[in-house]
Structure 1
């Protein structure tokens, strides 16, 4: 595992190894989307000297949320909660970036102050579920209702929400931010022609459809400067009822445009992963992997895709990616970098505790006892 443990600089993020913790929705906040003691401990456990953690999808708006007990970054209390998380990670010598998230048409009104979901076009995400919370505290999967199309002034308002969230993240002490443009959320809804039927300057041509994503990146880099912003994409994903007539051309175009954005990295979900649950199998539209987008994007690439350590090492050695993001394995192995480095056995993850609950399956996995 030599390559996984060689230093690398991603923009202005100087890292001592290449084992990245992938963003993973765990639904463990205190009331109001505020990171509490449980989340502080979760991230503290997974921090490592010179390692990078990407914090979970975090709502930038009170009017757009898909998962009960998911975190936000749109008010002071949430910012203070995140500040505690960041301090815990930094105390362990780690670095952490915050994933900024607007789910667009994948929003539940009951979690979004009663607001109808919004999208580029009034097109339903068929057979796609969010997770609501019942009065007894139990969770329930719920279909997203039909969205309404955004007016142009509302598009600019959401871009401004991204800017304000970036400011809050910076004030909380994060080392950077990541735009969540994967898994059928709002930036990808604009990007793909299956979900964007607009006839104005935000739809139609490939440059117009990429405009929202690129303008969101622009305001993030205005706040953070170059080398502190990442973008996550899922070129082969169909989660959220996502389709495009020519995904290879669309994502190749986007990758090329992102060369000029001054990113820290481009974070690519590999074809074997189709949604936020990090499924090991599943159909996908057209397999577009990091190795194809390397031709168009010339900066640092993080690859995510349910990797085992051996496969991760091979991908790095082949030059297809520069860092590898691990999701499921980090849930059950808080000391994952150390386990991989020393060849210690890996604990099996528990799917039934991925989403929501308490410390069980969240902070009760011990580090390896030598």
Structure 2
């Protein structure tokens, strides 16, 4: 079989959506939403349109509420202006033949008071994260959080459900819940960030409760065939770790499988770092889930072809390679060299480093 005939480049049915290939554009925070309204805009639409050949695009993290924002000029999905902004993006992308899921996001303790009108971030427990966020003056230490009151939690769950309903209004093909990388759901899952003594802390059964309540609330307003979740069982991203990843994530994935959602999107290893930072049985997680498995973290062309051909993954997500290579699918298909990433333009700014990377046909 030629590399070009690899299953990586063949169609795949995800839930009830037929994808032309198994290459996923991972969510990538770029901090270019319109200041003030933090809405997606015409430049956002141009960026995603350039990458329409991906089998599936998962949008940049999109906060479910003002309290859920953790970085400067990241988009939301809770106001009419934001819904309209994203509708421009989805209409533009669909006209170009693409498919896009909204990644809905609450950062929890990974935020800064300057982004919260002087307020304090919320978290499962009042444990500061040893990490930084991006604010008007550049990168800064996060603001220490306060613990969510038990009575507040249903309101936060409802914000996720409303954001999912808004994603439908905005024309998205589906939703990915951000449950990874040390943000709110991941904070509840991992005992390094969750020291609660109520029904949301302690045992694995208690720590998975918040995430499952989010999923269940969304499923009341949203089709399960168009819903997935991103997970990072052993990533220490944003200073969020756990003593029992196999137990808590084994349980969580098993419960997700019972609900029949379309996919789990799994960061294997440390986010953007070593794939073997902690010993973990990825095959067990895949086996525990009845839907599609999207593999992520450090995949090259050859690794992706091998993983899909061997059945270790159904789809493979690529992150930063998609930033510098809007035509990444074609480059992977043909084995063409990749453009070099301009790291100075990753966050904030305008067209430079966003919509001006060359394609093969422009070279």
Contact 1:46 1:335 in 2 (8 A): yes
Contact 1:291 1:321 in 2 (8 A): no
Q: Distance in 2 between matches of 1:223 and 1:113?
A: 30
Cα distance, 1:289 vs. partner? 5.7
Cα distance, 1:298 vs. partner? 2.7
Q: 1:281 to 1:205 in 2, by over 3 A?
A: closer
Q: 1:235 aligns with which of 233, 236, 254?
A: 233
* TM-score (norm: length of structure 2): 0.95
Report the equivalent of 1:57: 61
Give CA-to-partner distance per residue, 1:307-345, whole Å, 9 cap, x none: 111111111122111000011110011011122223322
Q: 1:218 aligns with which of 205, 216, 219?
A: 216
Mind listing any 5+ residue stretches in structure 1 that lack a counterpart? 135-139
Contact 1:67 1:111 in 2 (8 A): yes
Mind listing any 5+ residue stretches in structure 2 that lack a counterpart? none
Contact 1:25 1:57 in 2 (8 A): yes
Cα distance, 1:192 vs. partner? 1.1
Is the counterpart of residue 330 in structure 1 residue 322 in structure 2? yes
Q: Distance in 1 between matches of 2:338 and 2:142?
A: 36
Is the counterpart of residue 130 in structure 1 residue 130 in structure 2? no
Q: Distance in 2 between matches of 1:261 and 1:301?
A: 15
Q: 1:38 aligns with which of 21, 43, 54?
A: 43
Q: Distance in 1 between matches of 2:307 and 2:211?
A: 28
Q: Distance in 2 between matches of 1:308 and 1:185?
A: 26
Report the equivalent of 2:115: 111
Contact 2:266 2:293 in 1 (8 A): yes
Indicate the RMSD between aligned Cα atoms, in angstroms: 1.5
Contact 1:63 1:113 in 2 (8 A): no
Contact 2:62 2:77 in 1 (8 A): yes
Report the equivalent of 2:72: 68
Q: Distance in 2 between matches of 1:289 and 1:332?
A: 32
Question: Mean alpha-carbon deviation: is it higher for 52-61 or for 354-363?
Answer: 354-363
Contact 2:157 2:217 in 1 (8 A): yes
Question: Mean alpha-carbon deviation: is it higher for 219-228 or for 36-45?
Answer: 219-228
Q: 2:183 aligns with which of 182, 185, 192?
A: 185
Give CA-to-partner distance per residue, 1:258-304, whole Å, 9 cap, x none: 11122111000011x42xxxx344884x2436323123223200011
Give CA-to-partner distance per residue, 1:4-47, whole Å, 9 cap, x none: 11211111221110011000001111112111121110001001
Q: Distance in 2 between matches of 1:283 and 1:304?
A: 13
Contact 1:235 1:289 in 2 (8 A): no
Give CA-to-partner distance per residue, 1:213-256, whole Å, 9 cap, x none: 01111112221122111100011110121121211111111111
Question: Mean alpha-carbon deviation: is it higher for 350-359 or for 208-217?
Answer: 350-359
* TM-score (norm: length of structure 1): 0.93
Give the paired residue count.
357
Cα distance, 1:359 vs. partner? 0.9
Report the equivalent of 2:197: 199
Q: Distance in 1 between matches of 2:234 and 2:343?
A: 23
Question: Mean alpha-carbon deviation: is it higher for 67-76 or for 288-297?
Answer: 288-297
Secondary structure in structure 2 of the residue aligned to 1:213: helix
Is the counterpart of residue 366 in structure 1 residue 358 in structure 2? yes
Report the equivalent of 1:169: 167
Secondary structure in structure 2 of the residue aligned to 1:30: coil
Cα distance, 1:201 vs. partner? 1.1
Contact 1:66 1:108 in 2 (8 A): yes
Contact 1:290 1:301 in 2 (8 A): no
